[in-house]
A and B are shown apart, each in its own frame.
Chain A
Amino acid sequence: MKIAIPVDDKNIKGNVCLSFGRAPYFMLHDTENKENSYIINSAANSQGGAGIKAAQIILDNKADVLITPRCGENAAHVLKAAQIKIYKSDNNSIEDNLKKFKENKLKPLDQIHHGFHGHGGK
């Protein structure tokens, strides 16, 4: 199983990024071989529709699960159609969230926001 997390830096010791669509990187954790890889989020600088493009990147990289503090409705629409499960991160630590996910301690993200659509909050 592949788990995707928006992150601030290309470092497992770093923080989960507060934004999904505008995160600088995504970390992909492979539960089979325990390997982590990092991909640049090319959606981060989009004029608009960053969430849609970011979700596209997640599904193109064949993630099964996304752990994120929040997610907008357009991104959620893409992820849902791609049957990628969204879980809410519990704190800032990437490692801790992975651990909690494996222990079934993370909750599904049920609050989908309406998106910022150029109105800040990035």
Chain B
Amino acid sequence: MKIAVLSGKGGTGKTFVSVNLSFAAGNSNYVDCDVEEPNGRLFFKPELISREKVCVKIPKINNDLCRRCRICVDFCKFNALAYIKDKVLVFEEICHSCGGCMLLCPEKAISEKDKEIGEIQEGLFKDSNIYTGILNTGEETGVSIIKKLLKTIKDKPYTFIDCPPGSSCSVMESIKDADYCILVAEPTLFGVHNFDMVYNLVRVFDKPFGAVLNKCLEGENPAEEYCNDKNIKILCKIPFDHELGRLNSNAEIAAEKNEKYKSLFTSLLNTIKEEVE
């Protein structure tokens, strides 16, 4: 069963929820798709067993064949190509590797070459596999790293996908094959605004989903009001707790160190199991 954890806003608790669920489940895959700043590994401190470079294809122009028609330059939606003094210039960081310029070139003057943009790592934590995607600084998009990560994972009863923040291509790639989506929410208006975006996203993808309300305080909770308003199932509430803050800041797994949180995440896992079945 593949469970994706997403939130829209960063810092809401995606990694906290997915790391602890993976720990509570045991014998699972934890997949860190937040490739711009993967941090689940800080909690698991996995024993590294393999790493693999990830490359994307970028255009290579053969100026001897180029007839200066500019079809490639006009086509590129990302403006990664420019035509200067009878030559096509490629801006490698801007290119999204769609391959369109190569397909359209009537002179077949464009071929592809590999460009390394990051790597994926596989590690072990007890009987679980910890997968981490790492995008090199300055690169435009980590989608190809996420694709490769999710293709690499071994067969386990549970796979927890720690998604990037936001609701763009990289998040869509992360949740594409998920059986269930957990939307993590925090009680702030900013949080609710971005929560609304991922709520709409999982509906477009027609995924079953439920909400985890994190950092709950006494008094009003805009995230809870939003869920009630939209009839979103609240799977559990996690309190705003100094003990959790301490454990997290020391890169410790709450469910491993604290019985209360072990039972909270075990029961959250059971709730999700029932939801999926």
Contact = CB atoms under 8 A, between A and B. Distances in A.
Interface stretch (A74-82, A90-98, A104-112): A74-82
Contact of B79 (A52, A59, A81, A82): A52
Contact of B91 (A43, A47, A50, A52): A52
Query: For chain B, which range describes its interface: under 10, 10 to 19, 20 to 34, or 35 or more residues?
Result: 10 to 19
B78 A82 contact: no
Interface string A22-44: 00000000000000000000010
Contacts of B104: none
B79 A53 contact: yes
A44 B94 CA distance: 16
B78 A81 contact: no
Chain A CB within 10 A, most for which of B78, B79, B83:
B79
Interface residues of A, number: 17
A74 to B, nearest CB: 6
A65 to B, nearest CB: 16
A52 B84 contact: no
Contact of B94 (A43, A52, A55, A56): A52
B73 interface: yes
A83 B85 CA distance: 9
Interface of A: 43, 46-50, 52-53, 55-56, 59, 74, 77-78, 81-83
6 contacts: A48-B78, A48-B94, A52-B94, A55-B82, A56-B73, A77-B89
Contacts of B233: none
A55 B85 CA distance: 13
Contacts, number: 44
Interface string B64-91: 0000000001001111101111000101
Given A56-B73, A56-B83, A59-B84, A78 B78 contact: no
Contacts of A55: 82
A50 B85 contact: no
Interface of B: 73, 76-80, 82-85, 89, 91, 94, 140
A49 B76 CA distance: 10
B198 to A, nearest CB: 19
Given A78-B89, A81-B89, A52 B82 contact: yes
Chain B CB within 10 A, most for which of A47, A56, A59:
A56
A55 B76 CA distance: 15
B84 A81 contact: yes
A49 B80 contact: yes
A48 B76 CA distance: 11
Given A43-B79, A53-B79, A56-B82, 16 more contacts: A46-B79, A47-B77, A47-B78, A48-B78, A48-B140, A49-B91, A52-B80, A56-B79, A56-B83, A56-B84, A78-B82, A78-B84, A81-B82, A81-B85, A81-B89, A82-B85
Contacts of B84: 56, 59, 78, 81-82
A74 B78 CA distance: 13
A56 B84 CA distance: 8
